[in-house]
Structure 1
Amino acid sequence: MRAVLLHAVRGMPTVVDVPEPVAPDGGVVVEVRATGMCRSDWHGWAGHDDIAFPHVPGHELAGVVAEVGKGVRRFRVGDRVTVPFVCGCGTCEWCRTGDAQVCPRQQQPGFTHWGSFAERVSLHAADTNLVALPDAVSFEAAAALGCRFATAFRALTARARTAPDEGVAVVGAGGVGLSAVMIAVALGARVIAIDTNPRALEVAERLGATHVVVAGPDRPAVPDVVHELTGGGAHVSVDAVGSAQTAADAVLSLRRRGRHVQVGLLPTDDGRSPVPMARAIAWELDILGSHGMAAADYPAMMDLVATGRLRPDELIERVIGLDEASALLPRFDTAAPAGMTMIDPHLALP
C-alpha cells in the first residue's frame, strides 16, 4: 500500500509502497477513507514525541473495516468506523470506567505505531476503541472528530462544564480552536476567538463567535481586550495552540473563579510548562487538562453531528492526497490554514 513515510526527525517525508498491516488479536485493519493533518502530526515530525523510525504518521481517521482479528465481537468487515486518537488497552481500571483517554497502556496511531497517512491502518482493542459511524456522518466529518473536535468537545463539556450565556475565550483559531468555537456556540456560550490570522477569525465569526481579536506584538494585550469585552474576564478559557504565550494569555483572560482548559500541547526541553500560577491561586482559578475523548463518550457528540447541531465538515478547508501531505507536513506549523486539512489516501495527483 502507499503511505507517507518518515525516516528521521525533521527529515523530508516520502510517499512509498510499504507492506499492508495485519489485524492483531482483538484488533482490526481499517481502509482509510479520510485522515486529518493537525499540529500534533507536526510535533511528531519535529521530534517532540518518542517515535521509532521509519514511521507513518496520522492519528485522525475514518474508514471501513477491511480485516477483523481474533476475538473482536462488535465489528465486522465492511463496517463504517472512526476511532479516538487515544486508544485504550480495554482492560485497565481507567478503560473499564470509560476513561480510556488516560489509559496508562494507551496506544496512539501515528505515534506509538504506524498511523493513518496510508491506505490502511491497524488498530488494537477494537471493541473498546472503535466507534460505528451513522450513515448521516461522512468519512471526512468523522475524521475531523478524532483529535481536535472530540478534544474540544470534552474540554468544554466534561472538563470546563460550560453553561449557556457564559463567556468563553478561545486562544487559537486553528482546527481545535475553531472546533471549540463551534461547540461553545452550540452550548449557548458567548465566544471570543483570538488568533494572529485574520482569515481564521473570519471563519470563527461565521461559526458564531461574538467577538474576534487579532493578536500580535503590535496589538493590545489579549487579556486586557478579553476583560474589557466581557466586563471582568471570561468564565472559561481554552488554549488551543500550546505555547507559553498562548497559555498565559488564556489563563490571564479569566475572571475570578474561572476555568482554564489546556488543549494545545506545551512541549519544552525540560518537560515543564510555564503557567501563571500566582493568578490561579489568588483568583481561585481551575486549571484543567483535556487529552482527547474515549470512544465510550462519543454517542452524545455523534448524535449532535448526525442531527446537524454540530457540523465538523464545515471546518474542513481542503482535501489533499498523500503526495501533497508529505510536502505540507514539515511546514504545517507555519501554514496558517483557516480550517482543517483533510487527506484522502486514495486521491491521485492531478
Structure 2
Amino acid sequence: MRAVIFDEFGVRPEVRDVAEPAPPPGGAIIRVEATGLCRSDWHGWQGHDPDIRPPHVPGHEFAGVVTAVGADVHGWRPGDRVTAPFVCACGRCPACLAGDQQVCERQTQPGFTEWGSFAEYVAVRNADVNLVRLPDELDYPAAAALGCRFATAFRAVVAQGRVAAGEWVAVHGCGGVGLSAVMIAAACGARVVAVDVAPGALALARRFGATVCLDGRALPAPGAVAAAVREATAGGAHLSLDALGSHATCAASIESLRRRGRHVQVGLLPAAQGRPALPMELVIAYELELRGSHGMAAHAYPELLGLVAAGVLRPAELVTRTIDLAETPDALATMDQPGPGGMCLIRPGGA
C-alpha cells in the first residue's frame, strides 16, 4: 500500500510503498477513505511523543470501510462503514471497566503507538471496543473530522466543561479543535469569545457562532488577551479552553476566567517543551477548576452522532481543504505555522 512515512524525526516524510497491515487478533483492518491532518501529527513527527519509533506512519483521525477482521471479533465484518476514537482502548483495565476508555491504562493509538492512517489501510486493535458504526447519511470526510478534534472538543465542552446555556465560553486557538469547540458551545446556547492570530480562523469562528472574536496580534502585551476576554465577558468566562497547546495560551485561558470558572486543557503541552508556569494564585483565590480532556470513548459517540444527524452540529463545514497523499508531507511540515483555519483532510485514494 502507499503511505506517508518518516525515517527520522523532523526530516521530511516521503510517500512510498509499504506492506499492508494484517488484522491483529481481536482487531480489524480499515480501508482509509478520509483522514485528518492534525497538529498532534506534527508533534509526533517532531519527536515530542515518546511512543513513536521511526520509521513511522502518522495519522490518527480517520473513517473508512472494514476490509478484514481478526479472530474473536464479533460485532464487525468486511464492508462496515466505521470510524474510531484516537485512543483505542483495551476494554479490560480498571479505567475501561469504569467506562473511561479515553484514559485506558493499556491504550494504543494509531499514528502514535502504531502505524497510522496516512495510508491506504490502517489497523485498529480491539475492534469490538473501539470501532464506531457510521450512519448512512454521514459521509467519510465528515466522519473523519469527528475522529480526534471534533469528538475531543465535544467531550471537552459538554462533559469536562459542563457548558450551560447563557454562559460565556472562551476558546483560545481556532484551529480544527478550537473551531469545533466554538460550534459546539454555540449550539449549546453559550456565548463564545474566540481568540486567534489568523484572520481566516477568526472569520470561521464568527461563522460558526462566536459572539466576540479577538485578534491576538493586536494584544501582544503579557496579560492583554486575558484582560480583553474579561472585558468582553463582563468579568471573565465561565468556561475557557486552551485549544492550541502553548504555555501562553494555557496561562491566558486560566487568567480569562471569572471566579469559580472552569479551564479545560485540550491542546497538547509536550513535556519536551517544558512545563508551563501557571497562575496558581488565581486558581486558589478564585477557586478555579482545571481539567484535561483526552478524546472520547467509542461508547459515547451515539450522542454526538445524533446531533450531527439532526443538523445541530455540522463537522463537514469545518473542512476547508482536501489533499492527497502526495501533498501530505509538505502540509505536515507547515502545521506549526498559522493557517487559514478549519481542517485539512487527506483522501489516500485520491478521490
TM-score, shorter chain, exceeding 0.5: yes
* Alignment match of 2:313 (pick from 310, 313, 316): 310
Q: CA deviation at 1:274?
A: 2.6
CA distance in 2, matches of 1:223, 1:289: 20
Give the residue type in structure 2 aligned to 1:138.
Answer: D
In the other structure, the counterpart of 1:68 is 69
CA distance in 2, matches of 1:144, 1:270: 27
In the other structure, the counterpart of 1:277 is 280
CA distance in 1, matches of 2:338, 2:347: 19
Quick check: 1:98–1:297 contact (8 Å CA) kept in 2?
no
Cα deviations by residue, 1:290-339 (Å, 9 ceiling, x for unpaired): 00000011110010011111000000011100010112111211151310
In the other structure, the counterpart of 2:43 is 43
2:329 paired with 1:326 = yes
In the other structure, the counterpart of 2:145 is 144
Tell me, what secondary structure is at the counterpart of 1:328?
helix
In the other structure, the counterpart of 2:55 is 54
Give the residue type in structure 2 aligned to 1:129.
Answer: N
2:294 paired with 1:261 = no
2:96 paired with 1:95 = yes
CA distance in 1, matches of 2:264, 2:26: 34
Tell me, what secondary structure is at the counterpart of 2:26?
coil
CA distance in 1, matches of 2:204, 2:158: 22
Range 220-229 or range 184-193, more displaced: 220-229
Calculate the TM-score normalised by the size of structure 2: 0.97
In the other structure, the counterpart of 1:22 is 22
Tell me, what secondary structure is at the counterpart of 1:269?
helix
Provide the identity percentage.
Answer: 58
Number of aligned residue pairs: 348
Gaps of at least 5 residues in structure 1 are none
Provide closer, same or farther for how the CA distance between residues 270 and 189 of structure 1 changes in structure 2, counting only shifts above 3 A: closer
CA distance in 1, matches of 2:183, 2:329: 29
Q: CA deviation at 1:95?
A: 1.2
CA distance in 2, matches of 1:298, 1:96: 17
In the other structure, the counterpart of 2:350 is 347
Cα deviations by residue, 1:3-52 (Å, 9 ceiling, x for unpaired): 00110110110000000000001000000000000100000011101211
CA distance in 2, matches of 1:305, 1:270: 36
2:246 paired with 1:243 = yes
Tell me, what secondary structure is at the counterpart of 1:140?
helix
Give the residue type in structure 2 aligned to 1:193.
Answer: A
Quick check: 2:64–2:140 contact (8 Å CA) kept in 1?
yes
Give the residue type in structure 1 aligned to 2:297.
Answer: A
* Alignment match of 1:337 (pick from 334, 337, 340): 340
Quick check: 1:163–1:187 contact (8 Å CA) kept in 2?
yes
Give the residue type in structure 2 aligned to 1:269.
Answer: A
CA distance in 2, matches of 1:46, 1:211: 34
Counterpart mapping for 1:119-268 below 5 A: 119-216=120-217, 219=220, 221-268=224-271
Tell me, what secondary structure is at the counterpart of 2:210?
coil
Calculate the TM-score normalised by the size of structure 1: 0.97
2:15 paired with 1:12 = no
CA distance in 2, matches of 1:12, 1:310: 36
In the other structure, the counterpart of 1:287 is 290
Provide closer, same or farther for how the CA distance between residues 47 and 217 of structure 1 changes in structure 2, counting only shifts above 3 A: farther
CA distance in 2, matches of 1:205, 1:60: 25
CA distance in 1, matches of 2:220, 2:91: 48
Give the residue type in structure 1 aligned to 2:28.
Answer: V
CA distance in 1, matches of 2:301, 2:274: 31
Q: CA deviation at 1:217?
A: 6.4
Tell me, what secondary structure is at the counterpart of 1:157?
helix
CA distance in 2, matches of 1:345, 1:273: 37
CA distance in 2, matches of 1:54, 1:193: 38
In the other structure, the counterpart of 1:79 is 80
